[in-house]
């Protein structure tokens, strides 16, 4: 497979490719540490121009019919499918994710979400009746979508699709490390004739372009996915204009194995979950909680599962674990491991040495640790690397307390001897999503966090509602269809 070679001197604003005024940003392949692309970044002036273009497009786009927007979403899905091989190649190059994962999770799930909104629009109620009141759900206006580097295409679509479905034009600011796939979406938007200003792209630094979007009075909603630290900054900046802010932030999710659960299945699935995308997944189950009486067996299963991970060139079909995104991210992950070991943690598998045979690339060995305090840094903070911490508990009440004892609440899982027992524990977890006994992902179910994992919800009807305003129109008579 050939690596993508990208040079983009212009960006997409107001339905046209315009010259931007920023510096050149080099895009590095995390597996080879070589530059594979160059993108000229947008400036604050470019970001303002994009907001103005979206603002101009808002009245017409917001007044289109759901049928019109369904057709646009389906056309966009078709255009992206036509570019599927290019997208997979690009995602492997800019993220370092294994090609099989790029095909299934990065691209496949993005298209699934996009298609789900076209389907949802067919029945979504933009008008309801309550006695003599007609309740209208109307476009909230211009949406700024600020997306992360770990799943650049999926996160872009998870914001753009519901925004467009709601009748909102969007201004997209992709992460500086992974802008290339966003350009392919812009290509597709142009190819299908999306009206000028409905989709705008402004790659650039968060401290400049992102801050313009967060503060600009012409932006009505900011949808941000990224670190909790940056999310706080975005929310603070947006507060001056009292715009709506939807935040999907960090996580330190627990996989809770109840007494009597299938140890092999629960532990192996947890290890696999943590290693997906080299651990760079906000909803990863990075803490495994097991009964103390089953700790030794759990550690043996975790060690075996981690050691089976195929680490290597992300362009090989057999590879399961590629590099992390950058040298800085690798140093950060290794620092967490080193500090934990220095504080007395037991290294069950992995560690800070390079994986065998890999002298180039930002690789981290799949790592399992135990013997750490639940209050330690590695058990409390988001590592964002292929690192699992195994913690024993005394009883189920203790397990629930441990699961809830972090600042985060994004995801989690419960493994039990039967589904109902596991569900009863899932209800006690302070987190936005819980998977019971390995249940499948549902693209129409809400996704978002409690506590410092953010606010708002993505996916399904909840995703559309983030981009709608609600208006009550009182009529002098009982409205048709009132209840």
What are the two backbone dihedrals, phi and then psi, of residue 304, each rounded to the nearest 5 degrees? -65, -40
Q: How confident is the model at residue 482 (pLDDT cuts 50, 70, 90)?
A: low
What pLDDT score does 477 carry?
87
Q: How far from the centroid of its chain's Cα atoms is residue 68's Cα? A: 28
225-254 pLDDT, tens digit each: 999 999 999 999 999 999 999 999 999 999
| Angle at CA of residue 271, ends 267 and 273, nearest 5° | 115
What pLDDT score does 2 carry?
45
Q: Residue 105 has what DSSP assignment?
A: I
* Cβ neighbour number for residue 262 with a 10 Å cutoff: 15
> Which domains occur in the chain, in start order?
6-249+453-472 (3.40.605.10), 254-436 (3.40.309.10)
The residues with which 137 forms a beta bridge, in sequence order, are 470
Q: How confident is the model at residue 3 (pLDDT cuts 50, 70, 90)?
A: very low
CA dist., res. 50 & res. 404, Å (int): 41
Q: Are 283 and 410 in contact (CB under 8 A)?
A: yes
User: Which stretches of 55-132 are assigned E, i.e. beta strand?
Assistant: 127-130
Catalytic residue numbers read 248, 282
- Please return the burial class of 1, using the count of CB atoms within 10 Å of its CB with bins 0-12, 13-18 and 19+: middle
What are the two backbone dihedrals, phi and then psi, of residue 300, each rounded to the nearest 5 degrees? -65, -40
Task: Answer whether 0.75 is exceeded by the pTM.
Answer: yes
User: What percentage of the chain exceeds 70 in pLDDT?
Assistant: 98
Residue/partner pairs of 69-75 with CB below 8 Å, 24 or more apart: 69/121, 69/164, 69/165, 69/167, 70/118, 70/121, 70/122, 72/164, 72/192, 72/194, 73/114, 73/115, 73/117, 73/118, 73/121, 73/161, 73/164, 73/165, 74/115, 74/118, 75/192
CA separation (Å) from 76 to 30, 79, 186?
29, 5, 10
What pLDDT score does 483 carry?
56
For every residue of 144-175, which 3-state class applies, written as one string?
EEECCCCCHHHHHHHHHHHHHHHCCCEEEECC
Q: Are 405 and 424 in contact (CB under 8 A)?
A: no
CA dist., res. 360 & res. 330, Å (int): 12
Does residue 1 register a pLDDT over 70? Answer: no
User: Which stretches of 2-160 are assigned E, i.e. beta strand?
Assistant: 6-8, 10-13, 16-19, 24-29, 34-40, 127-130, 133-139, 143-146
CA dist., res. 465 & res. 480, Å (int): 23
CA dist., res. 246 & res. 219, Å (int): 13
Q: Are 268 and 368 in contact (CB under 8 A)?
A: no
CA dist., res. 257 & res. 290, Å (int): 5
Q: Are 402 and 393 in contact (CB under 8 A)?
A: yes
Q: How confident is the model at residue 478 (pLDDT cuts 50, 70, 90)?
A: confident
What single string gives the DSSP state of each residue in 357-382? Answer: T--SS-----EEEES--TTSHHHHS-
Q: Can you tell me the mean pLDDT for 374-390?
A: 98
Q: Can you tell me the mean pLDDT for 128-138?
A: 96
Q: Are 339 and 360 in contact (CB under 8 A)?
A: no
What pLDDT score does 5 carry?
60
Residues in Cβ contact with 406 at an 8 Å cutoff, skipping those fewer than 6 apart? 252, 379, 380
CA dist., res. 154 & res. 435, Å (int): 20
306-363 pLDDT, tens digit each: 999 999 999 999 999 999 999 999 999 999 999 999 999 999 999 999 999 999 999 9
What pLDDT score does 4 carry?
53
What are the two backbone dihedrals, phi and then psi, of residue 72, each rounded to the nearest 5 degrees? -65, -45
Q: Can you tell me the mean pLDDT for 268-278?
A: 98
The residues with which 11 forms a beta bridge, in sequence order, are 18
Does residue 199 register a pLDDT over 90? Answer: yes
The residues with which 35 forms a beta bridge, in sequence order, are 28
Residues in Cβ contact with 467 at an 8 Å cutoff, skipping those fewer than 6 apart? 139, 140, 143, 162, 163, 166, 167, 168, 221, 223
410-468 pLDDT, tens digit each: 999 999 999 999 999 999 999 999 999 999 999 999 999 999 999 999 999 999 999 99
Task: Tell me what the pLDDT averaged over the chain comes to.
Answer: 97
Does residue 7 register a pLDDT over 50? Answer: yes
107-131 pLDDT, tens digit each: 999 999 999 999 999 999 999 999 9
Q: How far from the centroid of its chain's Cα atoms is residue 283's Cα? A: 8
Buried b (16+ CB within 10 A) or exposed e, 168-201: bbbbbbbbbbbbbbbbbbbbbbbebebebbbbbb
Q: How far from the centroid of its chain's Cα atoms is residue 161's Cα? A: 14
The residues with which 30 forms a beta bridge, in sequence order, are none
Q: How confident is the model at residue 202 (pLDDT cuts 50, 70, 90)?
A: very high
Q: Are 22 and 42 in contact (CB under 8 A)?
A: yes
Q: Are 393 and 399 in contact (CB under 8 A)?
A: yes
What pLDDT score does 208 carry?
95
10-59 pLDDT, tens digit each: 999 999 999 998 999 999 999 999 999 999 999 999 999 999 999 999 99
Question: Which residue reads 């983009």 in tokens?
Answer: 8
What pLDDT score does 21 carry?
87
């Amino acid at each position: 497979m050939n690596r993508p070679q990208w040079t983009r001197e212009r960006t997409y604003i107001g339905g046209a490719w315009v010259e931007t005024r920023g510096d050149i940003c080099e895009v590095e392949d995390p597996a080879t540490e070589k530059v594979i692309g160059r993108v000229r970044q947008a400036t604050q002036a470019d970001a303002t121009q994009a907001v103005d273009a979206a603002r101009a497009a808002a009245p017409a786009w917001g007044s289109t019919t759901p049928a019109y927007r369904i057709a646009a979403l389906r056309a966009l899905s078709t255009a992206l499918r036509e570019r599927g091989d290019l997208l997979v190649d690009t995602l492997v190059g800019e993220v370092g994710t294994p090609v099989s994962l790029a095909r299934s999770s990065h691209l496949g799930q993005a298209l699934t979400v996009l298609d789900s909104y076209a389907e949802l629009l067919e029945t979504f109620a933009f008008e309801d009746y309550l006695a003599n009141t007609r309740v209208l759900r109307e476009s909230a206006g211009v949406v700024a979508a600020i997306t992360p580097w770990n799943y650049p295409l999926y996160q872009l679509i998870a914001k753009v699709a519901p925004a467009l479905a709601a009748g909102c034009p969007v201004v997209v600011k992709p992460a500086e490390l992974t802008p290339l796939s966003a350009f392919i979406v812009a290509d597709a938007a142009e190819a299908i004739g999306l009206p000028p200003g409905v989709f705008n792209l402004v790659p650039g630094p968060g401290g400049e372009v992102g801050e313009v979007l967060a503060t600009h009075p012409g932006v009505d909603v900011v949808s941000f996915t990224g670190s909790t630290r940056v999310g706080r900054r975005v929310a603070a900046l947006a507060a001056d204009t009292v715009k709506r802010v939807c935040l999907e932030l960090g996580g330190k999710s627990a996989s809770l194995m109840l007494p009597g659960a299938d140890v092999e299945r629960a532990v192996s699935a947890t290890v696999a979950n943590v290693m997906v995308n080299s651990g760079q997944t906000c909803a990863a189950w990075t803490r495994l909680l097991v009964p103390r009486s089953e700790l030794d067996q759990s550690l043996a299963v975790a060690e075996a599962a981690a050691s089976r991970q195929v680490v290597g060139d992300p362009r090989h079909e057999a590879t399961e674990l590629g590099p992390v995104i950058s040298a800085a991210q690798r140093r950060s992950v290794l620092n967490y491991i080193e500090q934990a070991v220095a504080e007395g943690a037991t290294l069950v598998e992995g560690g800070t040495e390079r994986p065998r045979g890999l002298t180039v690339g930002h690789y981290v060995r799949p790592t399992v640790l135990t013997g750490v305090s639940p209050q330690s840094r590695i058990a409390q903070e988001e590592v964002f690397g292929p690192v699992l911490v195994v913690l024993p508990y005394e009883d189920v009440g203790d397990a629930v307390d441990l699961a809830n004892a972090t600042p985060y609440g994004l995801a989690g899982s419960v493994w039990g001897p039967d589904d109902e027992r596991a569900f009863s524990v899932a209800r006690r977890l302070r987190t936005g999503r819980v998977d019971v006994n390995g249940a499948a992902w549902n693209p129409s179910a809400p996704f978002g966090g409690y506590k410092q994992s953010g606010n708002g919800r993505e996916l399904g009807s909840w995703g559309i509602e983030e981009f709608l305003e609600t208006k009550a129109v009182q009529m002098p008579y009982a409205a048709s269809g009132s209840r």
